[in-house]
Amino acid sequence: MKTEWMVMAILLAVLLFRLGRGLAQSTLLSLVQLLLLLSTALSLTGDSTTPLFGGMYLNGPLAAFQKSVLLFAAWMISLLFSDWQRESSHLSEYLILLLSSLLGMCFMVSSGNLLMLYLSLELATIPMAAAANLDLGRKRSSEGAMKLILSSAFSSGVLLFGISWVYGTTGSLDFGVIAKGIDGSPLQTLAFMFLFAAFAFKMSAVPFHLWTADVYQGSPMPVTAYLSVVSKGSMAFVLVNLLHGMFRSMSGAWYHLLMVVVLATLVVGNLFALRQQDIKRFLAFSSIAQVGFILLGMTGVRPLGPSAVTYFVLIYILSNLAAFGVAALVSARTGIEDIPSYKGLAKSNPFLAWMMALSLFSLAGIPPTAGFFAKMFLIVEGAWQGDYWFVVAAAINIAVSLYYYMRIVRLLFSEPEKSIPTLVPAPSERLGLLVCAVGMVLAGLLSWIYDHISTLN
């Protein structure tokens, strides 16, 4: 439980500073950045694996690593969006909300009981709805928060309904006991569907994705990034554990279900992303398509599934956060949010343009960035199971996504129409972008990163 303790400690520290009003905004931010870095590093050193609270809380090596990934992502967010964070009038509230949600996610990844799962899921979600409202002056922000909380309430209802049926048919809330009692009866199938839908909703898989666009567009940029990257990543971790753990015996059924959802998600995500002109909406919709790939990784029936997903999420976090980071910086300094205005960014801001290009390359899956290996690997997994039609469909989607990612890269390096002023990233932003860039290149090239993840399972 080391990771959770550390998150709680940081949370408590921010809360105390808030009460005492003793710290300047930027000092507080730097402190949190430092603490998050420290706890990421510490969490990587391993954690005890004894079950706690009578099996409510389980911690394995893979779960511990997944939590490190989440902490790392939170650290990145605190670095990358320092423009918005420093100017926000509610920095400490924002940090408290972010950290509470992070805490919820950590518990969620480690939960061994449906009750625990539900509670931590709520802890992970509700603070984000509040955080979405943090651009207090903008009505869109409030609208987004409202929609998020309403939709989440709906999905929680569905989840609880599913949980109650699981409990009704197996007589237990404990993952281990449930796994033994799952026999694929119609009632359990429907219960599974409800559980699946709730997570698919959080990951904004099609057809449960409709809330995404409004919420993402309304929320402040760091919250959007957090929702679309970190939150989705943690949900993916939990879902893959559920699929490969509790519902393993039903894998024949959910395999095909996933196929349908993956295809729908890829197609819809891509078709929408194709038409977006607003960089934030674009990233949000392309992240729906990326979720399709994460779900594709879950179809691996072989024991590899969870590690493959963890690896993909790590790369997804690195690539997406870098893109969001650049977009946030440009938007905060110049107000540019529509894609055509990025034309010629490379001329005045080569560093930012290269970072953006690198992350788009990675998202598009072009070698030698990490995204290539992740996608290649997922497709090979699919091919291994002999579903060629499916692989073809996924590959066509990759080709389509290439088109829209490359469209932006081309814009970045075209001759500018209006000159964009030279923007100097703050040291923390520069550090964050560089870490993402190094990660994007190395996570693919260094084989031991994947090897390490696959030994954890």
Positions that interact with another protein (CB under 8 A): 139-140, 142-143, 146-147, 150-151, 154-155, 158, 186, 189-190, 192-194, 196-197, 201, 206-208, 210-211, 213-214, 252-257, 260-261, 271-272, 274-275, 302, 304, 366-368, 372-373, 376-377, 379-380, 383-384, 386, 388, 391-392, 395-396, 399, 402-403, 406, 410, 413-415, 447, 450-451, 454
Place of tokens 């690198």: 358
Query: From the CB of 305, what's the least distance to another protein, in Å?
Result: 12
Residue 166 and residue 246: Cα distance in Å, rounded?
11
Full DSSP string of 205-239: -TTS-THHHHHHHHS-HHHHHIIIIIIHHHHHHHH
- What residues contact residue 232 under an 8 Å CB cut-off, 6+ apart? 202, 203, 204, 287, 291, 294
Residue 190 and residue 21: Cα distance in Å, rounded?
51
Work out the angle between the directed axes of helices 232-244 and 251-275 (0-180°, nearest 10).
Answer: 160
26 or 249: CB nearest another protein? 249
**Beta bridge pairs of residue 48:** none
35 or 364: CB nearest another protein? 364
367 or 427: CB nearest another protein? 367
Residue 111: strand, helix, or coil:
strand
Query: From the CB of 399, what's the least distance to another protein, in Å?
Result: 6
**Beta bridge pairs of residue 57:** 52, 111
Rg (CA), the chain: 21
Full DSSP string of 304-368: THHHHHHHHHHHHHHHHHHHHHHHHHHHHHH---BGGGGTTHHHH-HHHHHHHHHHHHHHHT-TT
Query: From the CB of 204, what's the least distance to another protein, in Å?
Result: 11
14 or 195: CB nearest another protein? 195
Query: From the CB of 52, what's the least distance to another protein, in Å?
Result: 33
Residue 109 and residue 422: Cα distance in Å, rounded?
42
- HSE-CB for 84 with a 13 A CA cutoff: 26
Residue 84: strand, helix, or coil:
helix
115 or 271: CB nearest another protein? 271
127 or 218: CB nearest another protein? 218
130 or 197: CB nearest another protein? 197
Query: From the CB of 454, what's the least distance to another protein, in Å?
Result: 8
226 or 247: CB nearest another protein? 247
CB pairs under 8 A, 24+ apart, for 167-173? 167/114, 173/113, 173/114, 173/115
Query: From the CB of 366, what's the least distance to another protein, in Å?
Result: 7
116 or 134: CB nearest another protein? 134
Query: From the CB of 443, what's the least distance to another protein, in Å?
Result: 11
Burial call 195-224: b when 16+ CB within 10 Å, e when fewer: bbbbbbbbbbbbebbebbbbbbbbbbbbbb
386 or 421: CB nearest another protein? 386
Query: From the CB of 193, what's the least distance to another protein, in Å?
Result: 4
Task: Provide the 8-state DSSP code for 417.
Answer: S
Query: From the CB of 393, what's the least distance to another protein, in Å?
Result: 11
Query: From the CB of 19, what's the least distance to another protein, in Å?
Result: 33
Task: Provide the 8-state DSSP code for 23.
Answer: S
